[in-house]
Amino acid sequence: MGLTFSTLLIANRGEIACRIMRTARRMGLRTVAVYSDADAHAAHVEMADEAIHIGPATARESYLRTDAILAAAKASGAEAIHPGYGFLSENAAFAEDCAKADIVFVGPPPGAIRAMGLKDRAKALMEKAGVAVVPGYMGDDQSAERLAAEAKAIGFPVIIKAVAGGGGKGMRRVDTAKDFGSALEGAKREAKSAFGDDRVLIEKYITRPRHIEVQVFADTHGNAVYLFERDCSLQRRHQKVIEEATAPGMTDVMRKKMGEAAVKAAKAVGYTGAGTVEFIADASEGLKADRFWFMEMNTRLQVEHPVTEAITGLDLVEWQLRVASGEALPKAQKDLRPHGHAIEARLYAEDPRNGFLPSIGKLERLQFPQANDIRVDSGVREGDDVTMFYDPMIAKVIAWDETREGAASKLASALAACEIAGVRSNAGFLVRALRHADFIKGDIDTGFIERHRDALIPLASARPQILARAAQFLFEDRSKNSQTPDPWSAQDGFRLSGEAREIVEFVAEGKRVPVEILHHRGGAWNVRIGGKDVSPVHASALRLASGDIAVMEGGETWTLVLHDPFAAAEAAGIAADRIVSPMPGRVVQILVRPGETVKRGQPLAVLEAMKMEHTLSAPADALVSTVDAAAGDQVGEGAVVVRFAKEKKSAA
């Protein structure tokens, strides 16, 4: 049976749009991309057979506009729309609008989306269907008093979750009753901003939780299967970082029980297409078949679906398109077996050393490794910009091997070989996580990153060998670009007797570090730092548009700033007297007033950027001089939010 449509519009952007197009093209479909102002030259736009502009850069004015998406489908003649994940993928009203326009929505029916879209209703449905759920409160009374009372009754620690949530937004862990009020306010505010719905539920927090999800697939002929599990326990800010299939320590008995529970959940809501049923497992005594509970169901394709594809040899997007076209599932449960192990790492433009804050800028260098059993799904290329408007993912890097240890080793090596400059990335952090002894032996849970923070996020310190490589690059770059044969114009520290010397000063971790280059007769040279000879590392280096030197080694990018005495004099003392926005965003709250005395660590303002809230805190005890922003303001990176009064010197 052939597909019932020939033109597919992808109502998404970035790597998932590119990934869907690859399968669609292989199946002979014509592809249509949509794009915002910010994505006019994006990879998915260039990859599509046709691309249609749908609005300004912000998602709510473009990718979340159902009218613009449907108009694009009509203009292009698209008979089907694939929503990818995020944006409109779990919007029941959009699925209904597609049906009204006689367009195939590549996803589940609207009723299933609604049933599973609200966490409280989904849990109630699962309880009715006989699927165990985490203890908690899912009631309609959303008063702060009732929610606080329910949290106390459940017993701390608890998790506050947005009813309409996902991706860690509107979620807070609360350990004590006194912290509940402020955590609730933040969760509700973030939920309202992200989903237009500030309702929350309260759940018991499992102390050693494993986040394990099951990939399910159902068709319109009554068939449903599970494609085994994925472990997504390594998370930061409640968002997944490393995912793997299958789950470490999973027994055949527990896999079957969890898979059957997932299928039962899907059938309970009349599900069709690809979906993921998420469970939380108590790993305090290892995985046990009677210690897992339903959390939620994602009624869409997941970011981490490539690891399932790697262990099954299946193309899940192809399955989606065939099911949406009315075909039966290609395989029955008895025909499915997992093979080997796959691990995916989400490579982000973010700074692990600064609370994983997103990093915005141009990808001046972006090189991925080419290796067997390594898959890279990306929606950006070298020269593209990482903007404030969308998720800062650079790529998903996936490794497969016969064993978990082999997959982890391959993935760590692949990430260590990535070269990224112009923005900060989490590549080095991912390498350390994959090579950590506890990860290798499978001792993981959702607290893994916080528990091993010092090992995973060491203090930034450019080794002498890194500084030497930067100096070497400067010397080689200058020699390569030198156009004059005039010896009097040569900048090589020439002298009539003895070694020629020149000194380059870098600023590393706020300190000036002189690096000495010694030129010898015959063209030889060497580098000295602190009076000692230093051999440069064998690593790639380049000069950034800013003039700084980037050295890339082992997944880390060291940005070495050339010391500028004039700029240093101008900037001296500035940082201590103000709080600035670390990235472009919107001011949600101002928590202080001029004339107020604040303590170190006290929250001063709340900023919303990259779909998450970030709290700006006082670096030290201080007196607020002025507040230079107001709630609702859009601010750029480096914009002053709060200024402090300068200390008065006492009279002699």
Percent of the chain with pLDDT over 90: 70
CA 587 to chain CA mean position, Å: 22
Q: How far apart are CA 172 and CA 169, in angstroms?
A: 9
H/E stretch holding 153 reads helix 144-154
In this model, does residue 569 exceed pLDDT 50? no
**H/E run at residue 227:** strand 224-236
Q: What is the mean pLDDT of residues 379-406?
A: 96
583 band by pLDDT with thresholds 50, 70 and 90: confident
Give the C-alpha separation, 154 to 143, whole Å. Answer: 17
Average pLDDT, the chain: 90
Tokens describing residue 270 = 């009349």
Q: Are 448 and 442 in contact (CB under 8 A)?
A: no
Q: How far is CA 404 from CA 217, 249, 356, 532, in A?
A: 25, 11, 27, 43
Q: Can you give the pTM of this predicted structure?
A: 0.82
**Alpha-carbon torsion, ordered 566, 572, 578, 582, to 10 deg:** 60
d(CA 178, CA 166): 26
Find the DSSP H helices in 77-143.
92-100, 110-117, 119-129
The confidence score (pLDDT) of residue 474 equals: 87
Residues in contact with 622: Cβ distance below 8 Å, sequence separation at least 6, in sequence order: 597, 598, 644, 645
pLDDT at 488 over 60: no
pLDDT at 497 over 60: no
Known catalytic residue at 300 = yes
- Between helix 305-312 and helix 316-324 the angle, nearest 10°, is 100
Is residue 244 within 8 Å of residue 343, measured between CB atoms?
yes
Of 91, 83, 92, 98, the C-alpha closest to 110 is 92
Cβ 606 vs Cβ 614: under 8 Å = yes
| Tens digit of each residue's pLDDT (9 = 90 or more) over 308-338 | 999 999 999 999 999 999 999 999 999 999 9
Domains of the chain from N-terminus onward: 7-106 (3.40.50.20), 135-204 (3.30.1490.20), 209-456 (3.30.470.20), 464-563 (3.30.700.40), 573-644 (2.40.50.100)
Query: For residues 162 and 160, what is the distance between their CA atoms, to the nearest angstrom?
Result: 7
**Long-range contacts of 572-577, Cβ-Cβ distance < 8 Å, separation of 24 or more:** 576/619, 576/620, 576/644, 577/625, 577/643, 577/644, 577/646
- Strand 640-644 and strand 578-580: the pairing is antiparallel
Does 277 have pLDDT greater than 90? yes
pLDDT value of residue 611 = 61
- Percent of the chain scored above 70 by pLDDT? 92
| Strand-strand pairing, 525-529 and 511-519 | antiparallel
Q: Is 635 helix (H, G, I), strand (E, B) or coil?
A: strand
- The number of beta carbons lying within 10 Å of the beta carbon of residue 524 is 8
- Residue 152 neighbours by CB under 8 Å, 6+ apart: 177
Question: Tens digit of pLDDT for each residue in 330-376?
Answer: 999 999 999 999 999 999 999 999 889 899 999 999 999 988 899 99
Helix and strand totals (H; E) in the chain: 18, 38
Q: How confident is the model at residue 550 (pLDDT cuts 50, 70, 90)?
A: very high
Instruction: Provide CB contacts within 8 A for 69, sequence distance 6+.
Output: 9, 11, 34, 54, 63, 81, 88, 94
**CA angle in degrees (0–180, nearest 5) for 381-385-386:** 100
Catalytic residue among 19, 172, 300, 586: 300
Distance CA 439, CA 450 (A): 13
**For 16-73, what is each residue's pLDDT tens digit?**
999 999 999 999 999 999 999 999 999 999 999 999 999 999 999 999 999 999 999 9
Q: 110-117 and 92-100 are packed helices; what angle lies between their axes, rounded to 10 degrees?
A: 170
By the 10 Å C-beta count (0-12 exposed, 13-18 middle, 19+ buried), 637 is classed as: middle
Instruction: Return the half-sphere exposure (C-beta side, CA atoms, 13 A cut-off) of residue 566.
Output: 0
Q: What is the pLDDT of residue 499?
A: 57
User: CA torsion sign, 97 to 99 to 103 to 109?
Assistant: positive
Q: What is the mean pLDDT of residues 137-157?
A: 94
Peptide bond into 176 cis (omega under 30): no
For the segment 176-198, the average pLDDT, to the nearest whole number, is 92
Grade residue 232 by pLDDT with cuts at 50, 70 and 90: very high
Residue 534 burial (CB count, 10 A): 21
Mean pLDDT calculated for residue range 231-252:
94
